[in-house]
Structure 1
């Protein structure tokens, strides 16, 4: 730990409020609700200050709660109200009426600093990130370079989040990430391959980044939680928008969003469909240091998908205090995955033994559906006093067949023809109940429970071409059944004063997990109960400086794709498989964050520490020149890191944003008599300039650098990449034209080295440049999909 801590530098700037003064007049209560101008979402933890109208002396202050509400009292009667929040223009209110010793300011909309620079038309440069007590909210609408992209590409532009070219998501460098849709598990985000592919950027309102979750959230995800919030308009009358995107390599999609709001009902729907082709160049080399033989491969594979997505739902306002929501989602994918790979087998003297090609033809259909019933009750004594009950069911199926054929080019004859067939079904149910009670203005209590059921069946068959016919390979053919039930209950309590607050909680979860390989009757059953405490606190020094601190304990339960032992034999010399005996990993997480503004700049910095036991690592082994990659529990990891996010608006036409993350880790563990003790580090840097051009053009560059990192068996290379986006607004934002180029210099790569005593392995992957053009149009009372600003 000494080696880790000596690298860590933390600088916090402290400012203080001026003193308060009081008069002997009758006490007046000032109240209101603060929301964000574009998204209409509440702004919690904003600063409300009362100042003397003549001397500008501070008379009192408070902060808004989770719902953006504030309430404070004063005995003065000659004052103004100043409202401020990091990244937003300070608003001053001096024109109000005092009635019955109360001033009701109503709903107040706060505008981002860059948005307010235009004095004629308020056009949306909303702040990308809004900070809350235990999470950050990333506004997707301003991400120009995500035009026409899927949710995976959008996530890759979120600060602290990385997505590699295989779709694996990490948060602050950690892979144990829990993905939620609208706060709940979803069939659209189950972590299987391109499951997020049917969600496009146009459908996403925001993404919540939760690096240190409170006990309210389920404990899954040692690295943290990413909650994707989908758009749902609630403006009265008819509202809607339509969008179309096209790009290269082939990437075409259309989307329609409709909403009808009346006094009793809010009807909403989203329709989307399209086709995309994702080429991927791959290169591998296996060196057997015992025999001297080596096998290399090189080729391009394609993932071609036609997809559609339909969401239907309604909010029924039974009365002023009860709302019932029913929604459903259906998605359908048709996959076609052709590929050709050239192999070379060399002996110890670097002489060619054999040279052959392997072609793949894979077809699959993936139906997905989900339904959600939600009831919310608001109690009459306080609108924050609520009870919410929900039930969710989902299904994901895959019917896939693959044909692999070989053709000898030189040397010894190679006959490696194979066929595979997959019949996959996954059914999930989630039941939740949450109760929130503001017992007093300062003290709130929350309790709840969640019961989740996951059932999976995966019937997998491999056939080898032998003596003129296909024969089932019994060693690779089986039916894998996976059954998991998780019951969780939690309670949290919060105490908040004007300048500081504290929130503590405890979550208890029982996990009942069983796996079975039907053909070979291999079973593995586990039942365990865990406790997950959390503690968060915040202190607001002034309207420009505040601090947050939090602790939580998390769990990463091995998911289906970690446990499933079936091989991916696309490259039958570099095979990935799961491990049915994998155990859960646990993480204790602690972080401290400062948030402050300096002139035209805003900055947040976090120092964090994570201790993880039974770390899940992907370990490579070699058998007959074939490298197998399987996950195993290997020892312990301590990680300390520093992260900072900054925003600077030097002029009305330029906005600069940057995020930087560096972490150092201490790795200890032993696997099959091999010592995995080592220390390492990794850092990432992202810089995004936004430029306002004449004639309502916006230009955005998004650059990212990721450094090399040492792994348990070798190292992974870093890379630098650049995305850009250009947008043109027409008819005050009703029509939006967008152009994006992702990976301009084709430098986003995945390169890994495995360096062991008996073998070495090299792998390289690259997807290449993507160009997309989009147009969207908002009608009724709506705006274009990527435009959510209010017009004067």
Structure 2
């Protein structure tokens, strides 16, 4: 079967190659004419994207021409002159047929309305299920509802199943191997202080879809050198009262209960999502370090092992109301609230080894950390649509407050002494964030559009960190860090379409005012800078099923939080992470070449990308000059390097060989070149230069298979491999991991039972090798969460499983609204 798949892949590549050549070379004969029109939903008048338009003749039962609608519901199809039957189809809608129409010249069919088919909505038909991954030229849309692997999981689990996206064992998100990613929730930056922890709190079942935008236009926030991820939460869009409830339980201890509910009438839509979870995420790590002399000979060693027990309880809820003031005006207000508390027990053992490899003594450090997090957000959205289609004004505002308190008691004892040491650390953070945005879209003459807008983002974060050693405050690790960020932005962009060519030109201006104040040391630092961020997109429609594009954008990555704070962790007393308050932002110029092709059963999307980043962040390890029982303390800090070049190639495939089998594959290969030196003065007043020039290549791939077995049992599997990668101070090793899930509909398809296994082989770890000449050589493994088993039960009322919900209003920055479409 594997050889057959290889042959199929080879044939597909050849077909793609010759089809592209043929499409470019072919010319339309004089007898061809152009048929245009628009497809909408009958009641709401919302455009239907991906509706199918087919032309048939009386002497040929097979379609002789056809196409699909774009995001505005529009189609543009070339046919020979003649008499045709036309069928307009869309999943879960009645077919609209136009019989025996004679076409002699270019014709606009106007607006074609489709009506929902109530009978189809209540049937469970495999072909009506939405594709898990929708591939578009400028983005990928991941629909969470059809993914069995994340039932009972969190947003982090969702992101780790998305093509092009990876989540490391600490919850940090990367896109195409680049961790400079901007994560949005409903088009807005998350109000959480620790975004990785926040993503683990929101239940997967609260998400409708995730949009992956690798090269955003000027309309988007310029933050995120690697691109954007937009997490869109469920809001409910169906008429009447309906909802979904999900209960889950797993091992290690993992319990969750969540639900979505909405009631929609003519003028109002009330919606809410509620979720509670009680979890334990046990993990483990090892770090074996050999310390070297000037001849790189081992003078002593420390073998460090640790186990983690992470207990957490959390509530995540929102409530909102959409008010249709009239046919052209809507106003939505929403409240989001999250609260959680946890107990993280970090048990560290350090075995000290002599130079002759004999055991010396053991040290045990137990870090018992208790955390309390709470955040509140109010968001408001106002949309005014004008008479001309596409002409609208959108006003958004959000106001949030977040508090996070982490306190830890560290107990330190060793076999070579009877003394027991007690350390206490307190990390108290409070953040206020306000966001205000205005967007205006003005369609001009046919085929062109103008957009403009303003965005103000204001953050005020205060971090108090203190350490007490055996009852005595340690001023070396105590500080209050005040971070204030004010970013005001203006943008404008213009798009037009000329025949099969589409153009979009944009320019964004951002004025940044950053204050980083260390209050304990009276060290005040203000950074002011303003920058222009241009963008340009060119698209060519080769045919109604294939397109090619090239795009450019400029992006910024501002350092925040842990990267800046010089005092935030003391779980290990010999390997300490230290933030760098003098970090500067990094800037990225990104170019992306894309191609997409659709066949009946296959969608293929590929891109070639080149990124150049100046002042790129890099983590550097160095000696501190301090020792613990003769063992040197190693510091790890982020620094700005000169330049980083990243080039890569990726492709994504959606393939449905049969009605009962769906495949999705993603492959990404990238080359990362770093150029720069780290120059610093060490503890003995020597000037040290570390050369970080390095060229590294790596790749990762993910394949997901979903099969419908007999008795209507769904089976979904995915496997991911992250290839090894070198850096200037060592290398990371390759990692393979797999997930597995089964589901069965019950209670006349109103309920679904799902069983999944996360990390089937218990192999998802970060494995690193580090070498610092004349100082140390180390090997480390870290597993944030061990293999997990989960059973989930879903119950739906007044909401058929495969119902296609009515299109929501297009919100700014949700990846749809305002994007220029020819």
Judge same fold: TM > 0.5, yes or no: yes
Partner of 1:327: 334
| Equivalent position SS for 1:187 | coil
* Cα offset, 1:125, TM superposition: 3.4
- For the Cα contact (< 8 Å) 1:82–1:90, is it kept in 2? no
- Residue in structure 2 matching 1:733, options 749, 761, 766: 749
Say if 2:39 and 2:47, in contact at 8 Å, map to a contact too: no
Residue 781 of structure 2 aligns with which residue? Answer: 764
Cα distance in structure 2, aligned partners of 1:145 and 1:282: 26
| Alignment equivalent of 1:19, drawn from 28, 33, 39 | 28
User: 5 Å matches for 1:339-358?
Assistant: 339-358=346-365
**Cα distance change on mapping 1:96 and 1:503 into 2, 3 Å:** farther
How far apart are 1:602 and its partner, in Å? 2.2
Within 1, Cα distance between the matches of 2:276 and 2:579?
32
State how far apart, in whole Å, the 2-side matches of 1:543 and 1:81 are. Answer: 17
| 1:127 to 1:20, Cα distance in 2 relative to 1, 3 A | farther
Partner of 1:510: 511
Deviation at 1:775, TM superposition (A): 0.5
Asked if 1:311 is matched to 2:311, the reply is no
Change beyond 3 A, Cα 1:123–1:32? closer
Contact residue 92 and residue 803 of structure 2 kept, 8 A: no
2 CA distance for matches of 1:573 and 1:124? 57
User: Which of residues 799, 813, 816 is equivalent to 1:782?
Assistant: 799
Residue in 2 that maps onto 1:586: 587
What is the alpha-carbon distance in structure 1 between the residues aligned to residue 358 and residue 568 of structure 2?
30
C-alpha distance in structure 2 between counterparts of 1:54 and 1:499, whole Å = 31
Query: Residues 579 and 297 of structure 1: is their aligned pair in 2 closer, same or farther, counting only changes over 3 Å?
Result: same
Contact persistence 1:425–1:456 (CA under 8 A): yes
Q: 2:247: which partner in 1?
A: 244
Rounded to whole Å, the distance in 1 between the matches of 2:68 and 2:603 is: 18
Inter-partner Cα distance in structure 2 for 1:92 and 1:157 = 35
Q: Secondary structure at the match of 1:95?
A: strand
Structure 1's 355 and 743: CA in aligned 2 closer, same or farther, altered over 3 A?
A: same
| Structure 1: gaps of 5 or more residues | 1-8, 111-115
- The 8 Å contact of residues 419 and 462 in structure 1, kept in 2 or not, is answered as yes
Give distance in 2, aligned partners of 1:150 and 1:23.
Answer: 52
Contact between 1:655 and 1:689, CA under 8 Å: does it hold in 2?
A: yes
**Mean Cα deviation higher: 600-609 or 127-136:** 127-136
Are the counterparts in 2 of residues 181 and 228 from structure 1 also a CA contact under 8 Å? yes
> CA separation in 2, counterparts of 1:732 and 1:543?
40
1:707 and 2:723 correspond: yes
Counterpart-to-counterpart distance in 2, 1:717 and 1:515: 36
How much does 1:427 deviate?
Answer: 0.8
CA RMSD of aligned residues (A): 3.2
Shift of 1:342: 1.2
Q: CA deviation at 1:685?
A: 1.3
Q: Give the TM-score normalised by structure 2.
A: 0.86
Q: How far 1:653 moved relative to its partner?
A: 2.3
Q: 3-state DSSP class of the match of 2:299? A: coil
Query: Does the Cα contact within 8 Å between 1:385 and 1:436 map onto a contact in 2?
Result: yes
- C-alpha separation in 2, matches of 1:651 and 1:60: 23
Distance (Å, rounded) in 1 between the aligned partners of 2:643 and 2:28:
49
- Structure 1 residues 336 and 762: CA distance shift in structure 2, 3 A: same
Q: Residue 535 of structure 1 aligns with which residue?
A: 536
- Of 261, 268, 276, which residue of structure 1 is paired with 2:264? 261
For residue 648 of structure 1, the aligned residue among 616, 633, 655 is 655
Check 1:46–1:31 CA distance in 2 against 1; reply closer, same or farther (3 A cut): closer
Counterpart residue number, 1:387: 393
Aligned to 1:501: 502
Cα distance in 1 between the residues matched to 2:250 and 2:737: 19
1:139 aligned onto 2:156: no
Contact 1:479/1:517 (<8 A) preserved: yes
* Alpha-carbon distance change, 582 to 29 in structure 1, aligned in 2, over 3 angstroms: closer
Work out whether residues 85 and 100 of structure 2, in 8 Å CA contact, stay in contact via their aligned partners in 1. no
**What secondary structure is seen at the aligned counterpart in 1 of 2:281?**
strand
Aligned length in residues: 759
Residues 1:79 and 2:79 aligned together: no
Question: Contact 2:38–2:47 (CA<8 Å) still a contact in 1?
Answer: no
Q: Which moved more, 1:453-462 or 1:602-611?
A: 602-611
TM-score, reference length from structure 1: 0.89
Task: Check 1:154–1:29 CA distance in 2 against 1; reply closer, same or farther (3 A cut).
Answer: closer
Other-structure match for 2:447? 442
CA contact (8 A) 1:97 1:103 kept: no
Q: Which residue of 1 aligns with 2:767?
A: 751
Unaligned runs of 5+ in 2: 1-12, 680-688, 807-822
Distance 1:73 1:385, change over 3 A: farther
Deviation at 1:287, TM superposition (A): 2.5
Which of 217, 221, 238 aligns to 1:218? It is 221
Structure 1 pair 155–312 and aligned structure 2 pair: CA distance change class (3 A): same
Q: Which residue of 2 aligns with 1:4?
A: none
- 1:464 corresponds in structure 2 to 469
Partner of 2:403: 397
**Structure 2 partner of 1:148:** 152
Contact 2:39/2:48 (8 A) holds in 1: no
The answer on whether the counterparts of 2:303 and 2:351 sit within 8 Å (CA) in structure 1 is yes
**Contact residue 85 and residue 99 of structure 2 kept, 8 A:** no
**CA deviation string 1:366-418 (max 9, x = no partner):** 11111101110000232x1110001101111012211011222x324564420
Deviation string, structure 1 residues 23-78 (Cα, Å, up to 9, x no partner): 99xx986332389xxxx996658786767666799999887454334478999683
Q: Name the SS for the 1:165 alignment partner.
A: coil
1:128 positional shift: 2.4
Q: Structure 2 CA distance, aligned partners of 1:267 and 1:331?
A: 20
